[in-house]
Amino acid sequence: MPAPLSSLGATRSDIRARHALLTPESHEWIRLPDWPGAELAVLVSPDMGARLSLSLLRCPEPVAAPPAGAGIARFVFCLEGRAHLPDGTVLMPEDFAFQPPGCGAGLAADAGSRLAVFEWPFAARGPVPAALSGRLDDCPGRPIHGDDWVEVRKMLPEDPAFDFEVNVMSFRPGASLPYVETHFMEHGLLMLDGGGVYRLDDRWYPVQAGDAIWMGPHVPQWFGALGRGPARYLICKNFNRGPM
Ligand code: UGY
Ligand code: MN
């Protein structure tokens, strides 16, 4: 039986100055006092140049976490199991919650749950929006650039009070982004299903479910879906705020 390549020093993870691909065989699971009971793989963080963080949480035991730090907004997407909000809302797989800074709301999760968590310094414009939660299925799917093989579901309101969008994009096999995007906004991304090829800067990466990506400002980016089923990814982006 050949040894897995990861045990021989190989990984698909590739961390560069302006973008990063983070693949499961190189995840480092840690515990943090901010997340009692949880194990976290912090995949994207300001230490790599990002202005947001993306962490995967797994819960070997029940989790009860305090609110995010001062000035920090949090978006939680349930991947498996159940999470609980202080108002009694239960998040099942593909349910989500937005927690603005200062809302005072922590988060609990059952043993066996898995969550994706984005955090970022919230840039207020007028009153800070209230906490909200919902389910992905209730967010309408819209074609992008008139191509109904590529669909986006937006989980947060487009209201200018929100400084971030968090979306799920799905691609039928063979579908792709219509052009190489370059924009000053950053992305954190988690592949949910399927796979394909992601162009980041001048590199093309094979990607599959479980992979995460950071795209820094202005990174040329493109995705084409491969395989026999749809490819889907969870993606965040700073939004509604200019560069200056
Ligand atoms: O919204 C976006 O910028 C999105 N289309 N980018 C991406 O999928 N890489
Ligand atoms: Mn983009």
ipTM rounded to 2 decimals: 0.99
Each residue's pLDDT tens digit, 83-114: 999 999 999 999 999 999 999 999 999 999 99
Q: Percent of the chain at pLDDT above 70?
A: 100
Span from the CA of 242 to the centroid of ligand 1 (angstroms):
17
Query: What's the chain's length in residues?
Result: 244
Instruction: Please work out whether the CB of residue 181 comes within 6 Å of at least one atom of ligand 1.
Output: yes
**Do 18-123 and 137-238 fold alike per CATH?**
yes
Average pLDDT (16-30) is 98
Q: Is a pLDDT exceeding 90 seen at residue 227?
A: yes
The helix or strand, by DSSP H or E, that contains position 205, with its residue range, turns out to be strand 203-208
Mutate to test the pocket of ligand 1, among 145, 169, 189 (most ligand atoms within 8 A of CB): 169
CATH fold for the domain made of 137-238 = Jelly Rolls (2.60.120)
Span from the CA of 233 to the centroid of ligand 1 (angstroms):
10
Matching residue, tokens 């749809």 = 230
Ligand 1, atom nearest to 215 Cα: 9
Q: Is a pLDDT exceeding 90 seen at residue 78?
A: yes
Instruction: Please work out whether the CB of residue 238 comes within 6 Å of at least one atom of ligand 1.
Output: no
Mutate to test the pocket of ligand 1, among 177, 185, 189 (most ligand atoms within 8 A of CB): 177
The per-residue pLDDT for 1 is 87
What is 18-123's CATH number, 1.10.287.90, 3.30.565.10, 2.60.120.10, 3.40.50.300? 2.60.120.10
Looking at this protein, which amino acid is placed at residue 242? G
pTM, full prediction: 0.97
Each residue's pLDDT tens digit, 157-192: 999 999 999 999 999 999 999 999 999 999 999 999
Cα dihedral across residues 185, 40, 83, 71: positive or negative: negative
Beta strands in 13-163 (DSSP E): 14-15, 19-22, 39-44, 53-58, 63-65, 72-80, 83-84, 90-91, 95-99, 107-109, 114-121, 132-135, 141-144, 147-154
Instruction: Please work out whether the CB of residue 235 comes within 6 Å of at least one atom of ligand 1.
Output: yes
Average pLDDT (224-242) is 97
Average pLDDT (17-28) is 98
169 neighbors 178 (Cβ within 8 angstroms): no
Average pLDDT (44-69) is 97
Q: Whose CA is nearest to atom 5 of ligand 1?
A: 177
Report phi then psi at 24, rounded to 5: -60, -30
Instruction: Please work out whether the CB of residue 170 comes within 6 Å of at least one atom of ligand 1.
Output: no
Span from the CA of 127 to the centroid of ligand 2 (angstroms):
27
Q: Is a pLDDT exceeding 90 seen at residue 55?
A: yes
Q: What residue ranges do the domains of the chain occupy?
A: 18-123, 137-238
Each residue's pLDDT tens digit, 98-154: 999 999 999 999 999 999 999 999 999 999 999 999 999 999 999 999 999 999 999
Q: Is a pLDDT exceeding 90 seen at residue 244?
A: yes
